[in-house]
């Protein structure tokens, strides 16, 4: 069992080791897709019905901002209904509060950049140190004016008429791509984007679902300006990045058996399944469906004979960026160890995830070598329970709850409530699936 201790401002969850990992789960809706549906539904004409919308706090920050700009949001049973503003956002009365969500701040900046008005964005302590220059540059080239505070939020977007640009994305970021696409949708003329690494393409699918036309040709994505969006009915597939925690847990035990229903398997997010196979998991895909361009399916995962290590670098590192903390957290238990490179972006996520993974692995007695853009974690190690600093980062919290399942003794995770940013049900599900 996990038990929860509270002090004044934060909670500590105690995670006991497990003997196995078995069961079946339908995960809450994908965070990335939920953000895009929230923003585009709030912008479109008509009422969208979004089922299995993410329960995480982050996509609810996106809904909250759209509400502040005139969208109507109501919950009807398991469906969130969003009545959009028909392409004209209202001037919000106060700041747009993005909470912990970099996705909300960056992607929404693109949407409001083309609207006449002034929009001030704020966020929590973590969001206030995350880089925003990456969206300021392209959006200013299109004609918006953006004021940052030392390259960060608070951020003020002075929106207005935009002109399309040809943009070469200097970093692999789906959020930046999305900001430019959302601005391009409303700009004069066409906007094109070239990505050096193919990042998650949920925005492309979502834009098409809401009725926009965009094309990918010779490696460039191209969108015509002046397009209108109309409401959709959609069911959000389960979140692969949340699934990653349980997939890694399933690798830790010889007789594990995990079934995940309606899991999002968009190819730009499915690299995690290749990693699970490469590390010794046996995956059976039981059923696959496609809606609005997004693939969802039921999968069954068992562990094969051994848990083996892996090297992750280059394009792979970018595509697995959200899953790297949990891969690193189980690395000491592998045969052969794990080496991660080209993942410098981890340092500017909700926390410096390289520094925190290294610190917390050491707190559990692991040997690990830190690199500027990754880490080397030898395999064949035995860990003991320790005190984990989540850094109030949801993925650090959940990654070390998984590492704790194979440690000797209990592990205390400080600031464990951070899990609610993307996966509020995490500890409940963990207790159901872990055999103690
Ligand atoms: C996201 C893109 C990634 C990812 C984040 C969600 C998205 O960020 O880490 O959790 O939904 O587009 P970057 O765009 O900064 O790489």
Task: Please name the residue whose Cα sits nearest to atom 4 of ligand 1.
Answer: 322
Across the range 303-315, mean pLDDT stands at 95
In a shared domain, residues 313 and 366: yes
Task: Please name the residue whose Cα sits nearest to atom 15 of ligand 1.
Answer: 173
Q: If you measure from the C-alpha of residue 352 to the centroid of ligand 1, how many angstroms do you get, rounded to a whole number?
A: 15
In a shared domain, residues 255 and 204: no
175 pocket-lining for ligand 1 (C-beta < 6 Å): yes
In a shared domain, residues 224 and 243: no
Ligand 1 atom with least separation from CA of 321: 9
Distance from C-alpha of 127 to C-alpha of 111, rounded to nearest angstrom: 19
How do residues 280-293 score in pLDDT, each as one tens digit?
A: 999 999 999 999 99
Mark which of 202, 217, 234 sits at the end of a domain: 234
How do residues 12-22 score in pLDDT, each as one tens digit?
A: 999 999 999 99
Q: What is the pLDDT of residue 1?
A: 57
In a shared domain, residues 189 and 275: no
* pLDDT grade for 79, boundaries at 50, 70 and 90: very high
Cis peptide before 141 (omega within 30 of 0): no
- Candidate of 175, 201, 324 to mutate for ligand 1, largest count of ligand atoms within 8 Å of Cβ: 175
In a shared domain, residues 324 and 277: yes
**What is the radius of gyration, based on Cα positions, of the chain?**
21
Q: If you measure from the C-alpha of residue 305 to the centroid of ligand 1, how many angstroms do you get, rounded to a whole number?
A: 34
Residue 331 has pLDDT above 70, yes or no: yes
Across the range 183-212, mean pLDDT stands at 97
Per-residue tokens: 208: 């098409």
Q: What is the pLDDT of residue 265?
A: 97
Residue 427 has pLDDT above 80, yes or no: yes
Report the SS3 class of residue 74. Answer: strand
Residue 272 has pLDDT above 60, yes or no: yes
Across the range 128-137, mean pLDDT stands at 97
In a shared domain, residues 154 and 288: no
How do residues 138-189 score in pLDDT, each as one tens digit?
A: 999 999 999 999 999 999 999 999 999 999 999 999 999 999 999 999 999 9
How do residues 16-39 score in pLDDT, each as one tens digit?
A: 999 999 999 999 999 999 999 999
Provide the residue range defining the domain that includes 19. 2-29+238-435
103 pocket-lining for ligand 1 (C-beta < 6 Å): yes
How do residues 334-366 score in pLDDT, each as one tens digit?
A: 999 999 999 999 999 999 999 999 999 999 999
- Candidate of 173, 266, 268, 396 to mutate for ligand 1, largest count of ligand atoms within 8 Å of Cβ: 173
* pLDDT grade for 78, boundaries at 50, 70 and 90: confident
Task: Please name the residue whose Cα sits nearest to atom 13 of ligand 1.
Answer: 173
- Candidate of 321, 342, 418 to mutate for ligand 1, largest count of ligand atoms within 8 Å of Cβ: 321
Q: If you measure from the C-alpha of residue 242 to the centroid of ligand 1, how many angstroms do you get, rounded to a whole number?
A: 14
Q: What is the pLDDT of residue 38?
A: 98
Domain count, the chain: 2
Across the range 237-248, mean pLDDT stands at 98
In a shared domain, residues 250 and 302: yes
Residues designated as active site: 322
Q: What is the pLDDT of residue 188?
A: 98
Distance from C-alpha of 390 to C-alpha of 16, rounded to nearest angstrom: 17
Across the range 295-303, mean pLDDT stands at 97
H/E element, 435: strand 434-435
Q: If you measure from the C-alpha of residue 174 to the centroid of ligand 1, how many angstroms do you get, rounded to a whole number?
A: 6
Q: Are 69 and 27 in contact (CB under 8 A)?
A: no
In a shared domain, residues 192 and 261: no
In a shared domain, residues 325 and 338: yes
Mark which of 202, 234, 266 sits at the end of a domain: 234
Ligand 1 atom with least separation from CA of 200: 12
pTM score > 0.85 for this model? yes
Q: Are 113 and 89 in contact (CB under 8 A)?
A: no
Report the SS3 class of residue 42. Answer: helix
Q: What is the pLDDT of residue 223?
A: 98
Q: Are 276 and 299 in contact (CB under 8 A)?
A: no
Q: If you measure from the C-alpha of residue 307 to the centroid of ligand 1, how many angstroms do you get, rounded to a whole number?
A: 28
- By the 10 Å C-beta count (0-12 exposed, 13-18 middle, 19+ buried), 413 is classed as buried
Q: What is the pLDDT of residue 257?
A: 97
266 pocket-lining for ligand 1 (C-beta < 6 Å): no
Residue 46 has pLDDT above 80, yes or no: yes
- The helix-helix angle for 174-184 and 102-113 (nearest 10°) equals 20
Across the range 377-394, mean pLDDT stands at 98
Q: What is the pLDDT of residue 218?
A: 85
Q: If you measure from the C-alpha of residue 67 to the centroid of ligand 1, how many angstroms do you get, rounded to a whole number?
A: 23
In a shared domain, residues 278 and 194: no
Residue 305 has pLDDT above 90, yes or no: no
In a shared domain, residues 181 and 315: no
Distances (CA, A) of 266 to 40, 220, 249, 257, 348: 19, 20, 22, 23, 25
DSSP 290-339: EETTEEEEEEEEEE-S--EEEEE-THHHHHTTTTHHHHHHHGGGSEEEEE
The CATH number that applies at residue 420 is: 3.65.10.10
Task: Please name the residue whose Cα sits nearest to atom 9 of ligand 1.
Answer: 322
Distance from C-alpha of 353 to C-alpha of 392, rounded to nearest angstrom: 11
Q: If you measure from the C-alpha of residue 8 to the centroid of ligand 1, how many angstroms do you get, rounded to a whole number?
A: 32
Reference 349, options 135, 96, 127, 31; nearest CA is: 127
Across the range 204-233, mean pLDDT stands at 96
- Candidate of 98, 109, 111, 174 to mutate for ligand 1, largest count of ligand atoms within 8 Å of Cβ: 174
Mark which of 234, 255, 286 sits at the end of a domain: 234
Residue 6 has pLDDT above 80, yes or no: no
In a shared domain, residues 81 and 205: yes
């Amino acid at each position: 069992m996990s038990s929860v201790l509270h002090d004044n401002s934060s909670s500590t969850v105690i995670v006991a080791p497990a003997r196995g990992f078995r069961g079946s789960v339908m995960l809450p809706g994908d965070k990335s897709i939920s953000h895009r549906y929230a923003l585009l539904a709030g912008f479109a004409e008509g009422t969208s019905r979004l089922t299995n919308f993410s329960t995480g706090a982050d996509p609810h920050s996106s809904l909250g901002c759209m509400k502040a700009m005139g969208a109507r949001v109501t919950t009807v049973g398991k469906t969130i209904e969003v009545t959009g503003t028909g392409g004209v956002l209202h001037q919000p009365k106060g700041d747009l509060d993005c909470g912990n969500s970099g996705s909300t701040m960056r992607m929404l900046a693109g949407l409001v950049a083309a609207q006449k008005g002034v929009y001030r964005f704020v966020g929590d302590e973590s969001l206030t140190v995350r880089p925003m220059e990456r969206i300021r540059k392209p959006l200013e080239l299109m004609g918006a004016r953006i004021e940052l505070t030392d390259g960060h939020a608070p951020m003020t977007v002075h929106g207005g008429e935009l002109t399309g640009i040809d943009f070469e994305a200097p970093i692999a970021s789906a959020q930046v791509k999305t900001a430019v696409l959302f601005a391009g949708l409303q700009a004069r003329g066409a906007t094109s984007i070239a990505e050096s690494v193919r990042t998650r393409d949920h925005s492309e699918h979502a834009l098409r679902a809401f009725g926009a036309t965009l094309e990918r040709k010779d490696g460039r994505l191209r969108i015509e300006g002046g397009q209108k969006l109309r409401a959709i009915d959609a069911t959000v597939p389960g979140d692969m990045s949340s699934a990653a925690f349980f997939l890694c847990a399933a690798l830790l035990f010889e007789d594990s058996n995990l079934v995940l229903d309606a899991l999002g398997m968009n190819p730009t997010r499915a690299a995690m399944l290749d990693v699970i196979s490469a590390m010794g998991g046996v995956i059976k895909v039981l059923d696959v469906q496609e809606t609005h361009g997004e693939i969802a399916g039921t999968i069954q995962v068992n562990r094969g004979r051994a848990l083996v290590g892996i090297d992750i670098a280059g394009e792979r590192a970018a595509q697995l960026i959200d899953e790297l903390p949990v891969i690193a957290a189980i690395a000491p238990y592998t045969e052969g160890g794990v080496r991660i490179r080209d993942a410098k972006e981890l340092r500017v996520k909700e926390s410096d995830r390289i520094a925190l993974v290294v610190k917390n692995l050491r707190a559990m007695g692991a040997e690990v070598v830190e690199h500027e853009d990754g880490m080397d974690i030898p395999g064949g190690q035995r860990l003991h329970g320790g005190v984990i600093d989540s850094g109030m980062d949801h993925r650090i919290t959940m990654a070390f709850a998984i590492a704790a399942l194979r440690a000797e003794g209990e592990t205390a995770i400080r600031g464990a409530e951070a899990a609610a940013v993307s996966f509020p049900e995490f500890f409940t599900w963990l207790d159901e699936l872990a055999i103690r």
